[in-house]
Structure 1
Amino acid sequence: MTMMIYSKILHIDLETFSSVDLAKCGLYKYAESDDFRILLFGYAYDDGPVKVIDVTKEDIPIPLRMDIADPKVLKVAHNANFERVCLSQYLCSKGHYLPPDQWEDTMIMASEQGYPASLAQLGPALGLGEDETKLDTGRRLIQYFCKPCKPTKANGGRTINRPKDAPDKWELFIEYNRRDVIAERAIWDKLNRMTPIKPSEWVYWYIDQRINDRGIQIDMDMVSAIESYGTHHSDDLMARAKLLTGLENPRSIVQLKGWLEEKEGHKIDTLRKSAIDDMLESDDIQPETREMLELRKELGKTSVKKYDAFTRSVCLDGRVHGCFQFYGGRTGRWAGRLIQPQNFPKPKFDDLDTARSLVKDGNWDVLEMLYPSMNDVFSTLIRTAIIPKPGCSFAVADYSAIEARVIAWLTRETWRMKVFEKGGDIYCASASQMFGVPVVKHGVNGELRQKGKIAELALGYGGGVPAMKNFKADKLGMSEKEMQETVDRWRRSSPHIHKYWYTLGHAFEGAIQGETVTLDRNMMCFRHGNQVYIRLPSGRNIAYVNPRIKDGHIEFDGLNQAHKWTTITTWGGKLTENVVQAIARDCLAETFYRCDRAGIPIVMHVHDEIICEVPAEQKEEIYKKILDIMATPIEWAPGLMLKGDGFTSSYYKKD
């Protein structure tokens, strides 16, 4: 993975207009809109002066265009995918994109150093001065110039605000654009003075950008049919609910509770899903109550609305582009965007071919006879709306139990490694280790396998009884006492994992104090400046900003689940989870690289699964090649037993 040596650096920031909603529809659809245009082009070479070209008055000069296309000129931007795709629309022929391997992205650099991705949050978090941070007037100016406006008498009925409509605001917008370039360059300089990002990370980002450029083909005929039918289906359900109850709005919790209380003769505390399920399990409710509760469940589902994301974001080529965010979390894993394939619901049935064929043929009456819930049909079929382009098939491969394999390898929990080496079932093996009896799936002591599965999922990172409950151990009839006994058994049967939580926690605390602590598997914890890093076996680092020990607990600055920059508390078990997931991510990234080198086009990935669009006549050959790639030992992880499994298909589905 050799890196280019560049002749100069070109820092870029764009301000643009499009009538397409960027947040809802995605960048690629935004940029292909007929009314898309670049308004301002802010730029600076190296440490030179920042200049802004008013593209509403003049084109981007030829020398700048040549540098944008020159592979020896490094282009730098914050969220560089935006500038790259927008400039591709401006400079390239339709459907072609500027190559990502001539770009660097300060947003990715910030994320890899543990900082927020948002430019507005990033400057202050890095401690940059006011003259090097983003102007806070930007949101109002972007709203005014970059989005359509509502026609009014006061604005003469116009739908677009142009520079001549507010010259003072336009001058401020030019200054805003200039300051963004200043801020982004200051951020790039400061981030480059921190611990360097591993060069291979840029290579993985280039592959990620090509995956987003490639996009995902959507079966829009099926999507449109489901959306159209779903509207009528919902209207029919509402009409039946109104007729049954006499209520003006059966969706109203207050109205429906009153009707149910009158019908059943007792108080109804809540209409949460679990409460409705409990009522439906009872034999002692009125038939009308049962029907209305079933209608309530069906009306409450959002299965058809999930298809809206396809319709909103699909581009003119029939594909959705830009579905994946590189380094979407602390561990470096990818995050989903737009159609969010990571969040698709679990299938409710297996016979996808029949249901899919009936939908495409418009046989709704037959569907309603075969399936009790049409929303279950829609939620089950949502994956199948993703299809390969004509002449191609999908080759889908998923890493098998990768986190369990990684934690066994990382901690040298030998019995676990032997299970994977022999192709065994880790849930059965774990239950056998805990309970001291043989456990065989669907065989002797098979009832213990589910307890082993819950323990494996809940306890690997220091979880206890609450974690067991999160994985529904109480639904198995386990009491809190039994759960605690299971926790104790699991920790005794996996002593190396249990010990590792504290080993890693102590190493991290040592690094906070300035020590460099070496760990097994070519890992270390060390401090550099304001950060503590955990060096992974791959050589990549996980970064923690401003870590400290307060009241016996490890704290650092980071983004919480509400994306607010705040104080985060952690400990050795959570750090172990970070490390295991980061190693699993690095394994997946290595698979991306190997597939890319082999000319196998990845169009999508979900958790630890890759979906490749391959020529139909070669699908089995390429599928086997992908499995070989996934099972090939990784140089930095000697002894880590990896295995992929999957299928080929004419549409995407869950195996």
Structure 2
Amino acid sequence: MKTLSIDIETYSDVQLPKTGVYRYCESDNFEILLFAYSIDSQPVQVVDLACGETIPEEIIAALEDDTVIKWAFNAAFERICLSRFLGYPTGTYLFPESWRCSMIWAATMGLPLSLEGVGAVLGLEKQKLTEGKDLIKYFCQPCAATKANGGRTRNRHFHAPDKWEAFKRYNIRDVETEMGIQHKLRKFPVPDEVWEEYHIDQEINDRGVRLDMELVQQAIAMDTRSREELTAAMKDITALENPNSVQQMKQWLSDNGIETDSLDKKAVAELLKEAPDNLADVLTLRQQLAKSSVRKYQAMEKTVCSDGRARGMFQFYGANRTGRFSGRNIQLQNLPQNHLPDLSEARSLVKSGDFDGVELLYEDVPDTLSQLIRTAFIPRENALFYVADFSAIEARVIAWFAGESWRHQVFEKGGDIYCASASQMFKVPVEKHGINGHLRQKGKIAELALGYGGSVGALKAMGALDMGLSEDELPALVDAWRQANPRIVEFWWAVDRAVMEAVKYKHTTTDYGLTFSCKSGMLFITLPSGRKLAYVKPKIGTNKFGGSCITYEGVGSTKKWERLDSYGPKFVENIVQATARDILCYAMKTLRCCSIVMHIHDELVIEANPKVSLDAICEQMGRTPPWAKGLLLRADGYTTPFYKKD
């Protein structure tokens, strides 16, 4: 036996989408109902465990045999559930090294992350059966007790034999579809380096990170009390039945002389600038109520495993345009920032349940709880978090690709890129907190908004107007940035031409250390690391301005599979972010033995003995990969007894 393709159907009274697989299979009621498998692409067999059948001994042995490659679609689910089935304790799982995931393979090709979606795009002969959702709802989740079903809370195979037979067919078909994906994509195998990155990702997900559950529970209780008090205060002032209702609040504001189309964060902040005191009080209360901090704490409570660690928070290749990671469950990619100067004190007050103390010292309870979310992540006993992140990674990568030498010099001297950018744009020296320091903000906003072809709209989206810039000075800012960075502008349009040529004439061209090629209905951009970005079914199309552009199929902003358009600067954004991702993965490989527990954007969080050297970790992380000669990297870090933004 060389390969084993697997799909399982399971039951648990825990809701998988809200908890993730690690907590899901910890339930006492968890069980595997059906186990479908194929040895070396032979016809699929199904083991009906719910009806008393047993998995053959050779298959059980293969699960723990690292020489047999196990395949599944979203293989983490099968691997973790089977670990539980085999009796592994919490925190110990089947070693990921011999597992491969066809969902990841599909993602490397720019395809959807669902079995149904991949099957449809690839036009597989054997597609996922559409009745699966209803069957899963019927057999895999608790049901409501009714008179008609005799008051039961779970449907078993003998309650609907016909449905059960259909469920077995569905289970078999999933393995067939998964093998069909492998067959279709066989010309484009996933490189070994990417599988190694996937295995590191699985190790990090398995390790998890410890949560301070005392803090989490007190924060939830405090938020509940705060919301009740804020709502009561709003009711007193407005006499509304439900002051949280957008409709009722808009009407009340209108009756009191303020018209508004929206009550989102930005709109309320604008209204507060000119609202009279009595209305400002209500708007301030609404602003406080809108803080969604409690959701993160609730997600922690739902996700945490019995050993106090949260697992499964990272989706490898979650952003399949670049191959970057995305967040799952607690969603670490969008944690609120912390600005409280006395974070430890605020944390202690919340942890001890001192609501009055928090209210007295910090006034805004929801905002305080929001700023403390990061601090709920804590290292194991007698350890510290070592937090290290890359300094200005995207700015460094784009300068390296484009050969923008003045930027290179800034990084070489350890300078501040925002000051240097402002200096280059306005032709005057700019120092942070020094000469022309007020221009640094303009340099920063230009850097963040304009690197990928952005113009006035991008500056506005980045909050340029909120930072005190006037509408009139934005076009000049765009021009100044582009004139200061002619090689980056040149890079955008060189990539645009190379992509056009590859799609139009099926030529393979190499420029800026990148290779552009078209093959089998796919556009590939090969990065310096050797990894390829893939775009499905590329064509020459027309953009909204009437000019030529590249279109391809992908998941758009609507979360649906559709035709998208792109052009040079957008491809450059993909290239730069994908390269930054490859650099992070290189650092993960370098620091693999160091107990990485989290990674957020360009930052690694390591759980380690306090005797470990922070400088050594930052030095290792800042090493330039062999494929990126000349790229200057720097990693900065700090140690902390709880996670925070330094």
TM-score bin (small chain): over 0.9
- The aligned residue for residue 623 of structure 2 is 632
- The answer to whether 1:75 aligns with 2:63 is no
Within 1, Cα distance between the matches of 2:467 and 2:238? Answer: 37
- The aligned residue for residue 545 of structure 2 is none
In the TM superposition, residue 274 of structure 1 has moved relative to its aligned partner by: 3.4
Alpha-carbon displacement from aligned partner over 1:11-42 (angstroms, at most 9, x marks no partner): 10101111110001111011111111101110
- The aligned residue for residue 531 of structure 2 is 540
- The aligned residue for residue 420 of structure 1 is 411
The counterpart of 1:503, out of the listed 494, 505, 508, is: 494
- The aligned residue for residue 359 of structure 1 is 350
Alpha-carbon displacement from aligned partner over 1:555-609 (angstroms, at most 9, x marks no partner): 001111232111010000000000000000000000100111xx20100000000
Contact 2:5–2:41 (8 Å) recurs in 1 = no
In the TM superposition, residue 261 of structure 1 has moved relative to its aligned partner by: 4.2
- The aligned residue for residue 65 of structure 1 is 60
Within 1, Cα distance between the matches of 2:246 and 2:81? Answer: 46
Within 2, Cα distance between the matches of 1:241 and 1:459? Answer: 42
- Report the CA distance shift for 1:266/1:107 in structure 2 as closer, same or farther (over 3 A): closer
Q: Which is further off, 506-515 or 329-338?
A: 506-515
- Report the CA distance shift for 1:418/1:51 in structure 2 as closer, same or farther (over 3 A): same
Within 1, Cα distance between the matches of 2:396 and 2:4? Answer: 44
- The aligned residue for residue 280 of structure 1 is 272
- The aligned residue for residue 128 of structure 1 is 124
- The aligned residue for residue 520 of structure 1 is 512
In the TM superposition, residue 228 of structure 1 has moved relative to its aligned partner by: 1.1
- The aligned residue for residue 246 of structure 1 is 239
In the TM superposition, residue 533 of structure 1 has moved relative to its aligned partner by: 0.5
- The aligned residue for residue 229 of structure 1 is 222
Alpha-carbon displacement from aligned partner over 1:99-140 (angstroms, at most 9, x marks no partner): 1110110000000011111000101101212xx111111000
SS of residue matched to 1:160: coil
Which letter does structure 2 place at the counterpart of 1:562?
T
Within 1, Cα distance between the matches of 2:241 and 2:511? Answer: 66
Contact 1:324–1:334 (8 Å) recurs in 2 = yes
- The answer to whether 1:180 aligns with 2:174 is yes
Give the TM-score of the pair, scaled to structure 1: 0.95
In the TM superposition, residue 191 of structure 1 has moved relative to its aligned partner by: 1.3
- The aligned residue for residue 484 of structure 2 is 493
Give the TM-score of the pair, scaled to structure 2: 0.96
Within 2, Cα distance between the matches of 1:447 and 1:547? Answer: 45
Q: How does 1:496-645 map onto structure 2 within 5 Å?
A: 496-512=487-503, 513-521=505-513, 523-551=514-542, 552-596=548-592, 599-616=593-610, 618-619=611-612, 621=613, 623-645=614-636
- The answer to whether 1:316 aligns with 2:311 is no
Contact 1:342–1:606 (8 Å) recurs in 2 = yes
Q: Which is further off, 369-378 or 358-367?
A: 358-367
Within 1, Cα distance between the matches of 2:257 and 2:528? Answer: 64
- Report the CA distance shift for 1:60/1:497 in structure 2 as closer, same or farther (over 3 A): same
Contact 1:92–1:98 (8 Å) recurs in 2 = no
- The aligned residue for residue 190 of structure 2 is 197
Within 2, Cα distance between the matches of 1:142 and 1:416? Answer: 55
Within 2, Cα distance between the matches of 1:258 and 1:459? Answer: 40
The counterpart of 1:116, out of the listed 101, 112, 118, is: 112
The counterpart of 1:165, out of the listed 159, 166, 180, is: 159
- Report the CA distance shift for 1:478/1:295 in structure 2 as closer, same or farther (over 3 A): closer
Q: Which is further off, 266-275 or 430-439?
A: 266-275
Within 2, Cα distance between the matches of 1:496 and 1:214? Answer: 44
- The answer to whether 1:148 aligns with 2:137 is no
Q: Which is further off, 400-409 or 624-633?
A: 624-633
- Report the CA distance shift for 1:475/1:106 in structure 2 as closer, same or farther (over 3 A): same
Contact 1:468–1:483 (8 Å) recurs in 2 = yes
% identity of equivalent residues: 48
SS of residue matched to 2:536: strand
Contact 2:587–2:622 (8 Å) recurs in 1 = no
- The aligned residue for residue 207 of structure 1 is 200
- Report the CA distance shift for 1:268/1:498 in structure 2 as closer, same or farther (over 3 A): closer
Alpha-carbon displacement from aligned partner over 1:609-650 (angstroms, at most 9, x marks no partner): 00011123x24x1x2221111222210000111111121010
Alpha-carbon displacement from aligned partner over 1:457-512 (angstroms, at most 9, x marks no partner): 11111111111111122234434442111111111111110001111111111111
In the TM superposition, residue 266 of structure 1 has moved relative to its aligned partner by: 5.9
Alpha-carbon displacement from aligned partner over 1:404-438 (angstroms, at most 9, x marks no partner): 00001111111101100110011111111111111
- The answer to whether 1:650 aligns with 2:644 is no
In the TM superposition, residue 180 of structure 1 has moved relative to its aligned partner by: 0.8
- The aligned residue for residue 39 of structure 1 is 33
In the TM superposition, residue 268 of structure 1 has moved relative to its aligned partner by: 5.4
Q: How many residues are treated as equivalent by the alignment? A: 637
Which letter does structure 2 place at the counterpart of 1:588?
L
Within 2, Cα distance between the matches of 1:436 and 1:34? Answer: 68
Within 1, Cα distance between the matches of 2:475 and 2:97? Answer: 52
Contact 1:116–1:122 (8 Å) recurs in 2 = yes
Within 1, Cα distance between the matches of 2:328 and 2:261? Answer: 37
Within 2, Cα distance between the matches of 1:504 and 1:135? Answer: 41
Within 2, Cα distance between the matches of 1:600 and 1:328? Answer: 24
Which letter does structure 1 place at the counterpart of 2:485?
S
Within 2, Cα distance between the matches of 1:268 and 1:72? Answer: 65
Within 2, Cα distance between the matches of 1:509 and 1:261? Answer: 53
SS of residue matched to 1:192: coil
- Report the CA distance shift for 1:363/1:173 in structure 2 as closer, same or farther (over 3 A): same
Unpaired segments ≥5 residues, structure 1: 1-6
Q: Which is further off, 15-24 or 469-478?
A: 469-478
Contact 1:348–1:377 (8 Å) recurs in 2 = no
In the TM superposition, residue 447 of structure 1 has moved relative to its aligned partner by: 1.0
Which letter does structure 2 place at the counterpart of 1:237?
L
- Report the CA distance shift for 1:517/1:102 in structure 2 as closer, same or farther (over 3 A): same
Within 1, Cα distance between the matches of 2:557 and 2:270? Answer: 31
Q: Which is further off, 251-260 or 116-125?
A: 251-260
Within 1, Cα distance between the matches of 2:523 and 2:251? Answer: 57
SS of residue matched to 2:378: coil
CA RMSD of aligned residues (A): 1.4
Within 2, Cα distance between the matches of 1:242 and 1:496? Answer: 59
Contact 2:234–2:282 (8 Å) recurs in 1 = yes
In the TM superposition, residue 62 of structure 1 has moved relative to its aligned partner by: 1.1
The counterpart of 1:296, out of the listed 286, 296, 299, is: 286
SS of residue matched to 1:550: strand
The counterpart of 1:29, out of the listed 23, 26, 41, is: 23
The counterpart of 2:360, out of the listed 355, 365, 369, is: 369
Within 1, Cα distance between the matches of 2:339 and 2:102? Answer: 42
In the TM superposition, residue 307 of structure 1 has moved relative to its aligned partner by: 0.9
Contact 2:291–2:370 (8 Å) recurs in 1 = no
Within 2, Cα distance between the matches of 1:206 and 1:272? Answer: 41
Which letter does structure 2 place at the counterpart of 1:38?
I
Q: Which is further off, 351-360 or 237-246?
A: 237-246
In the TM superposition, residue 359 of structure 1 has moved relative to its aligned partner by: 1.2
Unpaired segments ≥5 residues, structure 2: 543-547
Within 2, Cα distance between the matches of 1:265 and 1:47? Answer: 71
Which letter does structure 2 place at the counterpart of 1:438?
P
Which letter does structure 1 place at the counterpart of 2:491?
Y
- Report the CA distance shift for 1:360/1:478 in structure 2 as closer, same or farther (over 3 A): closer
Contact 2:104–2:317 (8 Å) recurs in 1 = yes
In the TM superposition, residue 306 of structure 1 has moved relative to its aligned partner by: 2.3
